Structures are given as structure tokens and as C-alpha cells.
Structure 1
Amino acid sequence: MADTVQFYLEQMVPELEDLEKKNLFSKIEIKAIVKKRTNFEYALKRRITKKVDFLRYIEYEMNLEALRKKRKSRLETKPSKQSVSDYAGNRRIFFIFERALRKFKGDIALWLQYIEFAKANSANKTLGKIFADAIQLHPRKAPLWIMAASWEFEENANIVAARVLMQRGLRLNPAEEQLWHEYFKLEQVYIEKIKARRKILGIDQKSQALRELESTDEDGEEMIKLPTVTAGEAEDMDEDGEEARAVKQMEESVAEKMREGINPILNGLLSQIVYDNAIKAIPNDLEFRTKFIDIYNDFSDTEAGIQHVYNTIHDDFANNEDARAYLVARHLNAKNEENGHTTIKINDPKFVQAIRECVQEFDVCVQDIPTTKMWELYSDFLTKWRGAVTETNLKKYFTKLLIKTFKTVEKNELISENLYLTWIDLLRSQNDAPQALSIAVHACEVFSKCVDLWLARIELVNATEEATESVESEEQLFQLALNKNGESFKLWSTYVDWIEQKWKDDALSKEAVDELMTNACRKATTLLPSLVESTAERNRIKDYVLGSYVMISAKISGIKKARETYKKLINGSFPTLAFYKACLQLEEEHNMSQSSSQQSQHLYEMALRLNVDKEDTYLAYINYLNSHKLFTKAAAVYAKAQQDVQNKESFEHKYQQYKNNEPAAERSVLGNQNNNESDTEMITTSE
């Protein structure tokens, strides 16, 4: 090991001598560099080499090279001949990367870092080798194929090599969506570059048409007069007439083939072939196909290609609701040269016609696919644009269409919970609360397990003048909803919030609140355990209701009433550990007397009876006692814990961590600071 390190250090001698000769680094700095490199080299020769050692070495060399370049540019007044120190730094970084990748061949992130460094230093020959090695080791990694093809096309201007790389990658990874999209984009970029070049040369179709327009004149006044041809010149021309005509025909043929309107390559034939092959490899993915349209929209003159994608979606996804809805939305798409693909603006005259076309096509869709999902997509479309438009007639138009849609779906027995909710929201936005309540009542009968419908119905009770019920009716609705949906945390939390809000609005007395919360706790305790199995959601409901009762009691009547409440619940409701934690938090907030400490200790003792998370509960109890300077009691609890917990070794380990927590944290911070200083130290001087 020492011999290898010494060999590497000896290779640095010419470079270091050159740096000193050019006055870029002093002797002291060079000694510091040698010492630092020696430490890094020995670190790389450990029995178990770590990736971080290579990365730190690379980072150090990069910083050192940046410093060398900065000093050189400052000291040299005119360009000088390159010497060994000018390229030795980058060569060493490449060498370290190679050594690292020999150890960590499977690390893709390290390969990508190596590639980026080679690109930054314009090491084209090295890049070719890097890509070849990386792809050979990781042929299933699409980003490597894409980066290699991108480098060939953008840096080497070699479209053939880029295509070969993408095709090889796709042969090995035919189901890799990213590869197909990037290959498709590559062909589009290539076509775009050809068009831009033709435009600069003035041989594109638009430029030729413009020249023809400028060279013609209806009156013939600006026509260029050709010189007259003598008889001798005509005779000479006749001698070579056949050859001249042949050349002319050939030129016209080539020009005709290269016209943009006729040339299949410029019309996107290759891109279309890529797309067709892609959908053969991945046939049933709608989102995969729509991505090709997004790519098309970034380029010019792609209308034919976009239409081809639309046609394939229509043919292959004729019975797919999402696909049909996507095709409908295409009528609202617009494309311009400045912003690319956009949606037609509401104030655009084309908007109304586009909406009509969408509605007509949706009418066909719901006939072809008479499913609930298709009607929901239609409803979502109308709802979205109804909320977007501001013009009165348009809003009425969307409203009528929505009402007609809801009635049709209900008549055909295809209505869903979401459609009912949208219908209710529409009626509420029109201030038609009675009709909305009528729909909500019927919806709750059809979908009694939908919590959102019950909540909408409850909200509509107070908003409806025809409703004679008041607080009691809302309470009855809540009870009815809870009987149907006892497992819904959203419904329980809304009910508890409603009780508290009614008390704040003076609509409920303290006694009424206490009675309602007592009944809620009883139902949460008796209803949930009667179910087949206990789940985290059901325990969450029980914890929330019981904890809320305690908190509301504290808000209404103070800490004494809250203590009475949680003692009552402990005796009759079988609370969980989360409930005890909430009570302890409440006691901590009202820690004003010795009685509070006694209550907290009682809560800890009760929590330990649950036989759940005993190790953490004991540690929290000991921490509480020590924080209140009850050291004797803390020692007794610790002794009891040693006998009570099952995994004594684990508890002891956690207890020692607890005891040494703050000092250990301080030592850890100091240790990190020392490590950072040693890692970031590069040379004795700084710029």
C-alpha cells in the first residue's frame, strides 16, 4: 500500500515543480498540497474503500485546479506556452474518477458526475469511452442512452450516431417510455434544424414563394429584359440542346424532391415512424401517447403529425372514457408561433364555436359510452368552463347544459355521488337552497355511505327557509349520518366542531354540550369496538372524540372540569395511549400548582397499565419527574421499569441515550465541526 501511494506521489513531482517555477504556489503551499494528497491516497487504500473518500478527493482537486486557473489568469499578462501543470490537474481528476468507478461500477450517480465533468472540460475523446463503458455496464438505464445520443447530436453534430444509439437502447429497452419520447424529440429537433438552415439560405418554401411574388408584375413594367440571341449563338445552343435539357430536367427533379411540401423527411415521416413503433411497443398507455402531442407542440408545422396521433388514439381507445374526453378538449387547443401550444382564450371569437364543437362531441361520447364515468367527465368539463366564463349568456348556456345532464343521468340511473355533489353545488350557486336540499335528501337515500352528501345536506338545513328544524334537526341528521358512517373520521370531526361552534354562538348551553359530548364518547367507544376488527382509523376516531371532550371542557369550564371529564372517561371508556398524551399535554399547559404534578403522575401511572410502548412511556415519565426535580420518584420509576419492560437491554440502551442526550449532541456537533475543517482545508492560503 505504501509503495503504491509513494508511486502516485512521485508522479506529481514535475507538476509541483512547474507550479513553483511559475510562482503559482509557494513552497509552504506545495507542502500542504502534498500532505493533503498523501492523506487522500492512504484513505483510498483502506481495506474497505468508501465512495465518500473518492468524492472528497475529487472535490479537493477541483477546488485546487480552480485556484490555479484563477492565479494564472491574474499573474499572466499575455498568453504563455502550456506546460505540465496546465493539464495535470484535470488528468488527475479523470484518473481518480476511473479508480472510483472500478470500485463502484454500479453507481449511476457517479457515472453521471464523471460525464458532467468530462463535458465541462470538453474532453470529447474521453466522453466517447465513458459512454461506451457506462452503457456496456448499465444497458437498462435509459438516461445513459439519452445522454450519449444527445452528446453525439449536439456536440458532434452526428445525427446518424445519435439514431444508432437510440435504436440500440430501444432494442434493449422496448418498454422504456422516456427513450421513445427522447428519440421522437431527436427527430423533431433534426427536422427543425434543417428547416432553419433552409430558411437562412433562402431556399425554404416561403422564401421561394416570396421571391416569385416579387419578380412578377402584372403590367410587365418591372420585368427584366433579356438580351437578344444572335443566329450563331442559337446554332451553338442547338448543338448542345439535348445535354442542356437533360441537365435542366435533373435539376428540376432534385429541386422538386427537396421542396418542403413534398419531401417526406421534412414533413415528419421519421417522427411518425418512431411514433408508430412506440405505440406498438407500448399499446395501451394513453398518457404515453399524449406526451407525443406535447412534444409536437414545441415545434412548427406539426399539424399533420398531431392529427395522426389523435387518429390513433380515437381508433385504439374508442371505448376509453379518458381518451374520448381528451379528444374532445382538442377543439379548444390553439397554436401560435410566439407561445406555442395554448388554450383558446375566453374572449377569443373562436371560443364559442370551439365550445359548441366540444359539446357536440361529448353528446356523441355519452351515446357511444353510456357509463357514469363518461357523464362525470362531461359534467366536469361543463363545470370547469362555467366557472371560467364571465359573460352572462355563456354562463346560462353552461348552467342549462349541466341541469339537463344531471336530469338525464338520474333518469338513466347512471348518477354517482360526485354528480350529486356537483348538482347540489350548482343549485347552491344559483341560490336555490330548497331545490338543493331536496336533491341532497334524495342523494343521501341513494348513497347513504357518502359522508360528503350528508355534510352538504346538514349545511343546507339552516340555509333553507322551508326547513322548520333548527339545532335539534341538525343533531338528528348528524346522528343519522353517524349511524350510517361510524367509521368516518371526517364526519366525527365535523360533528365535534359543530358542537363547539354552537356553544360559541350561544346556541348550546354548557349542559347541552356536556350531554352531547358524553353521548358522542359513548358511541365512539361502543360502536367502534363492535366492528369486526380494530383499525388505526377507528382508534383515531376514538382518540379524537375523547380528547376533544377534555379540551372543550377545559375551554368552557376550566381545568378542574377537564380533570373531572378525563377521570370519568378513564373509568368508563377504555382510552388509548394517545388520549393520555393529550391529557398530559393539557396538564403541562396548566402547570400552576402541585396538584397538576400529582395529576400528571396519575396519568402516567394509568398509561403504563396499557402495556403499549412501555419503554417510551417509562422514559417520558422519568424525564417528567427529573424536569420537576422529583429525583427520588424518578429513581423508583426507573427501578420499576427495569423489572416491568420485556426487552431490558433495549430499555437500558434508550435510558443511557436519554441520560447522555445533551452532552452527546454537543460532542457530535464539535466532532462535525472538526471534520468539516479537515475536509474543507485545502491549502494554507486562500484567495
Structure 2
Amino acid sequence: MAEKVELMIEKMIPELEEMERTGLLSNVEVRKLIQKRKNFEYRLARRTRSKLELINYVNYEKKLLELLRIRRKQLNLNEKRGSIDGAIAKRCIEKLVVLTRMWPRHLDTWALRIKFTEFLGWKEEVSRTYRAQTKFHAENVNVWIAWAKYELEWKSNFDGARNILVSSASRHHPKSIQLKRELFRLELSCGGFESRKPERERERGNFFSEIPRLSSGIGSRIGVSGGRLRKYLPRILAPCKSSNISCKYRVMILLHELVFSALAPQGMAWQEAAILQRQVPLSDHSFVVSTETSK
């Protein structure tokens, strides 16, 4: 056990020497760091590994990275980032992979791994972590939604986010109302991504002229007059008015599924549905409608 720990510490010597040479850490700080790492490595070298010890080790190294960032800013130093910061980050990722491999059913271990990779700014590693997490937590719809949200908000990957919800998550949660709501919100945001494309790449079509026919079809299924739907559908669909025609039809299909399979039995005031224009999650609002509208 001692030989294994000493070998691990020897592998860290180059980065420790570079820290002291560049002035990121003093000689005293380097010595304290070596002793602290030795203590952690000895604890992890035991036959029965502790989940808490692994977490504490990673958190300690994260604080070290934060300190190095501050020191680099103070010294205006960008030298040896790969051999110092990169080496520490890769070693922490290895520890986190071991952590999630030993306790794959624990959501907190995955959350720590995702949070740390986001801290590093390694977007592809975050995506790989989410993908690995879904293999053990496919039954948790929130895991799929969090992954799709990351792809959309951090990587601006609309197609990837949509593929996660439509192709992957829907196989495990075909009747999930929460998933349909998130997919509906995703399609509403399609306009922002489509508008970035050159005009010649976008499909053309007078979608809003189809609203009377579509609203009548939906209204006949849920017992709401087509006139009421025609009044509020343009407001609901306003966020995607710059989208291409296929995106708009996907929004209408999802709206139909939401209303018919989930919201209609509970009742819904269509004027309140315009809240979607502000991209607010449906779960944040209670939709109430009088029994007269469903007659």
C-alpha cells in the first residue's frame, strides 16, 4: 500500500515543481500540499474505500484549482496551464469516474461529477457524464431534461437537445407529461436558433394562416370552441414565429398532445396559456378553467 501511494506522489512531482518555480505556490505551501495528498491517498488505498473520502479529496483539489486561478490572475501568468491545472483536473476526473462507478445508483455522485466538469468548462466531458448517467438512471425523467437543458443553454445545440428528448427519453417515458411540456418549451425556443441561419436555408410557409383549421381540429377533440383557441393560439406560438414551417407544426402537434392527454382533463384557461410566451415552465403555474368551457 505504501509503495502504491509513494508512486502516486512521485507522478505529481513535475507539477509541484512547476507550481513552486512559477511562484503559484511557495515552498511551504507545496510541502503542505504533498502531505495532504499523501493522507488522502493512504485513506483511498484501503480495501474498503469511503465515498466521503473520495468526495473530500476532489473538493480539496477543486479549492486548489480555484486558488491557482486567483494566483494566476494576480501574477498575470498563463504559463504551464496544461502541465499544472490540466494535470490536476484530469486526476480529479479519474477520481470522479471511480466514484460514479462504485456508487452508480447515487445521484449525488453524478451531480458532483457534472458540477466539477462544468467548473472546468469541459463541455464534451459534461455531455459524456450525462450520457453515462442515463444508463443507470434512465427511469428518472429529470436526468434527461437536465441533459437536454445543458445541451441547449450551454452548447447551443438545439438538435442535440431535441434528439435527447424525442429519441432517447421518450423511449423510457412515452407517457410523461413533464417530458412533453419540456419538449413543447424547447420547440417554442426553436425560433431563436432558426433565425441565426441564412434566409435561404429556412423553409417558407404561411403557418399562421393554418391556425383556424388547426384550432378547430384541436377544439373538437377537447370540447373547446375553435373561436376561443384561434384567439389565443397566436399568442402562445409567438416565440416561434421566426421558425421554419416544420418547427411550427411540431409545436402544434405537441400542443395538441399536451392539451388532449394532460391538460384537458384537468381544465385549462387558454388566456393563461400565453404565459408560455415568456418561456416560463408550465409546472410553475396552476391552470384552472370553469366546467362550462369543457361542455
**Structure 1 21/181 Cα, relative in aligned 2: closer, same or farther at 3 Å?**
same
Contact 1:146 1:166 in 2 (8 A): yes
Q: Deviations over 1:59-98 (max 9, x none)?
A: 111111111221222123x654645113222222212211
Cα distance in 2 for partners of 1:281, 1:69 equals 51
* 2:275 is equivalent to residue 297 of structure 1: yes
Q: Which has the higher contact order (CA 8 A, sep 6+)?
A: 2
Q: Deviations over 1:330-366 (max 9, x none)?
A: xxxxxxxxxxxxxxxxxxxxxxxxxxxxxxx86x98x
Alignment-derived partner of residue 5 in structure 2 = 5
Cα distance in 2 for partners of 1:161, 1:260 equals 25
Cα distance in 2 for partners of 1:40, 1:129 equals 27
**Structure 1 285/261 Cα, relative in aligned 2: closer, same or farther at 3 Å?**
closer
**Structure 1 298/193 Cα, relative in aligned 2: closer, same or farther at 3 Å?**
farther
Give the CA deviation at 1:105. 0.8
Alignment-derived partner of residue 482 in structure 1 = none
Contact 1:140 1:172 in 2 (8 A): yes
Cα distance in 1 for partners of 2:35, 2:202 equals 69
**Structure 1 120/177 Cα, relative in aligned 2: closer, same or farther at 3 Å?**
farther
Alignment-derived partner of residue 114 in structure 1 = 113
Contact 1:191 1:268 in 2 (8 A): no
Cα distance in 2 for partners of 1:16, 1:39 equals 17
Q: Deviations over 1:625-666 (max 9, x none)?
A: xxxxxxxxxxxxxxxxxxxxxxxxxxxxxxxxxxxxxxxxxx
Cα distance in 1 for partners of 2:96, 2:259 equals 40
Give the CA deviation at 1:283. 8.1
* 2:105 is equivalent to residue 128 of structure 1: no
**Structure 1 296/165 Cα, relative in aligned 2: closer, same or farther at 3 Å?**
farther
Alignment-derived partner of residue 88 in structure 1 = 87
Alignment-derived partner of residue 38 in structure 1 = 38
Alignment-derived partner of residue 72 in structure 2 = 72
Cα distance in 1 for partners of 2:179, 2:80 equals 45
Q: Deviations over 1:350-400 (max 9, x none)?
A: xxxxxxxxxxx86x98xx7xxxxxxxxxxxxxxxxxxxxxxxxxxxxxxxx
**Structure 1 104/284 Cα, relative in aligned 2: closer, same or farther at 3 Å?**
farther
**Structure 1 291/29 Cα, relative in aligned 2: closer, same or farther at 3 Å?**
farther
- State the percentage of identical aligned residues: 23
Q: Deviations over 1:9-46 (max 9, x none)?
A: 22211110111111222222212111111111222233
Q: Deviations over 1:186-211 (max 9, x none)?
A: 1111135446x59xx9x8xxxxxxxx
Alignment-derived partner of residue 327 in structure 1 = 289
Contact 1:166 1:183 in 2 (8 A): yes
Q: Deviations over 1:503-535 (max 9, x none)?
A: xxxxxxxxxxxxxxxxxxxxxxxxxxxxxxxxx
1:276 alignment partner AA:
H
Q: Deviations over 1:242-281 (max 9, x none)?
A: xxxxxxxxx9xx9993456468737832122123345676
Q: Deviations over 1:210-252 (max 9, x none)?
A: xxxxxxxxxxxxxxxxxxxxxxxxxxxxxxxxxxxxxxxxx9x
2:159 alignment partner AA:
V
**Structure 1 14/32 Cα, relative in aligned 2: closer, same or farther at 3 Å?**
same
Cα distance in 2 for partners of 1:270, 1:280 equals 15
1:176 alignment partner AA:
S
**Structure 1 145/291 Cα, relative in aligned 2: closer, same or farther at 3 Å?**
farther
Cα distance in 2 for partners of 1:291, 1:117 equals 43
Alignment-derived partner of residue 142 in structure 1 = 141
Cα distance in 1 for partners of 2:202, 2:183 equals 29
Q: Deviations over 1:306-327 (max 9, x none)?
A: xxxxxxxxxxxxxxxx99xx33
Give the CA deviation at 1:172. 0.6
Contact 2:184 2:251 in 1 (8 A): yes
2:256 alignment partner AA:
D
Cα distance in 2 for partners of 1:269, 1:179 equals 18
Alignment-derived partner of residue 163 in structure 1 = 162
| Alignment map for 1:209-358 (pairs within 5 Å) | 257-258=204-205, 261=208, 265=245, 268-278=248-258, 286=266, 290=268, 296-299=274-277, 326-328=288-290
Q: TM-score, normalised by structure 1?
A: 0.33
Q: TM-score, normalised by structure 2?
A: 0.72
Cα distance in 1 for partners of 2:100, 2:65 equals 21
Q: How many equivalent residue pairs?
A: 254
**Structure 1 179/293 Cα, relative in aligned 2: closer, same or farther at 3 Å?**
farther
Give the CA deviation at 1:111. 0.8
Structure 1: 5+ residue stretches without partners:
204-250, 301-321, 329-360, 369-687
Contact 1:19 1:25 in 2 (8 A): yes
Give the CA deviation at 1:57. 1.0
Give the CA deviation at 1:284. 7.6
Structure 2: 5+ residue stretches without partners:
210-242, 279-285
Q: What secondary structure sits across from 1:257 in the alignment? A: coil
2:6 alignment partner AA:
Q
Contact 1:191 1:265 in 2 (8 A): no
